[in-house]
Amino acid sequence: QLQLQESGPGLVKPSETLSLTCTVSGDSISSSNYYWGWIRQPPGKGLEWIGSIYNSGSTYYNPSLESRVTISVDKSKNQFSLKLTSVTAADTAVYYCAPRELGSGSSYWGQGTLVTVSS
């Protein structure tokens, strides 16, 4: 059973870079059983898939964010990370790390972390 913990700043200034990390326990980040992914939810709104990384190399991004997003893996720390550049107020959201098992949905979710973009 996976356990996930997001970490990172809760406040980011406009035009700067949002950086979050998800620490994984219960399985190796090198496991090919999961797409390691991020999902966000603006306050009072629905879910938006941001992107995923598979097998430490193949990345899949939401086209609406692709020019600003990077998802990567740190095998030494059993973590995966999200970087979102040039943020605006529209990027204010609860960010979840949520790996998706092959052939299935996301059974495991982090607790979510609210990131507010404001000067």
Question: How far is CA 48 from each of CA 26, 64, 74, 97, 116, rounded to the nearest angstrom?
Answer: 26, 10, 24, 12, 16
Reading the block at residue 30, the tokens are 């090198």
Strands 11-12, 113-117: pairing is: parallel
Contact range with another protein by CB under 8 A, out of 8-16, 21-29, 78-86, 105-113: 105-113
Helix (H) or strand (E) holding 82: strand 79-84
Q: Is 114 in the site for another protein (CB under 8 A)?
A: no
- Closest CB 52 distance from another protein, rounded Å: 8
- Closest CB 8 distance from another protein, rounded Å: 17
Q: Is 96 in the site for another protein (CB under 8 A)?
A: yes
What radius of gyration do the chain's Cα atoms show? Answer: 13
Find the binder of another protein among 14, 32, 47, 74 (CB under 8 A): 47
Query: Where do contacts with another protein occur on this chain (CB under 8 A)?
Result: 46-49, 52, 60-63, 96, 98, 100, 103-107, 109-112
